[in-house]
Copies of this chain bind each other. A is one copy, B any other.
């Protein structure tokens, strides 16, 4: 069967590069379009990109000619968006109105009331909002968002507990990698012998997005999960991999063994269907009081798993643990690609 042509908008940035790296050898998708700013348009991708990943840039991709993103046109109907929020706000609707299927890593529409914010294992049913979105907005295309990188992995660990025991409250403190801010992103002078508290905006995303994702979709509406989250976010001198320290209050009493079992047995639709990018296990458990660690654990499940360790009782809430996840794979490009894989499996990416 021939592959589905796809494009990447914002192809030269850090997340755009990660999309390309993950899509370059994808069994179902084939990159046909690379869209970027006017400055790069009309030139060979390999000549304009400052490739910052350690995986080499595939030669076929390097030879593609970059197109202008702001023209709102692309050959491929399926487009992955790695745009900054400010540009996504105008360009993503433009593409969707012209029939494109947008799988977006941008924050611009994540909280829009008719846009599904999806982690494929957690709330694939939210994708049923798409026809309503199309009807309401008069689009033939659509926008589907993946979550903020930190929120993604927080949900990755909270959802198994929520399903099994009900999560009432969670406290999270983060140690986030530099790549989360893109490239050039954080100046090196800020991360040599230093850490930087993150912006309040980041904390708000971490406190809000999980409640939409773990909430319900019924009667054409998203209902947020009843759950109180509070976040303290920090940027640390790590390249890839966000670490999060979490304390949770659960609705039902449980044991450490039952928690471990909930993590271990957790599976979702992507695993059932065997989607190409689906990690298995979804939650990778690590042992020892000094794990997880970004350098050692971020590539669990090819960067698509959420790693959990240090499960122990909390003095204040019920339980505490550490989690870690790759922020530009599962937390960005990989999460979007998994969403597209499910839609493709369902046959909802008609050319």
Q: Interface residues of A toward B: which range?
A: 35 or more
Residues of B within 8 A of A183 (CB): 187, 189
A204 to chain B, nearest CB (A): 10
Residue of B nearest to A243 (CB): B195
Tell me which residues across on chain B come within 8 A of A296, comparing CB atoms. 51-54, 194
**Which stretch of A22-30, A141-149, A172-180, A258-266 is in the interface?**
A172-180
Residues from chain B with Cβ under 8 Å of A169 in the complex: 316
Q: How far is the CB of A229 from chain B (nearest CB, A)?
A: 6
| Chain B min CB distance to A89 (Å) | 23
- The complex places the Cα of A186 from the Cα of B165 at a distance, in Å, of 38
Q: Say yes or no: A193-B193 contact (C-beta < 8 A), given A234-B175, A299-B54.
A: yes
Asked if residues A232 and B187 are in contact (CB atoms below 8 Å), the reply is no
Q: Which of B171, B187, B294, B320 is close to A316, meaning CB atoms less than 8 Å apart? A: B171
Is A336 on the interface with B (CB-CB < 8 A)? no
Flag whether A310 is at the interface (Cβ < 8 A).
yes
Using CB atoms and an 8 Å cutoff, list the residues of chain A in contact with chain B: 14, 51-54, 169, 171, 173, 175, 178-179, 183-197, 199-200, 207, 228-230, 232, 234, 236-239, 243, 245, 247, 289-296, 299, 309-310, 312, 314-317, 320, 322
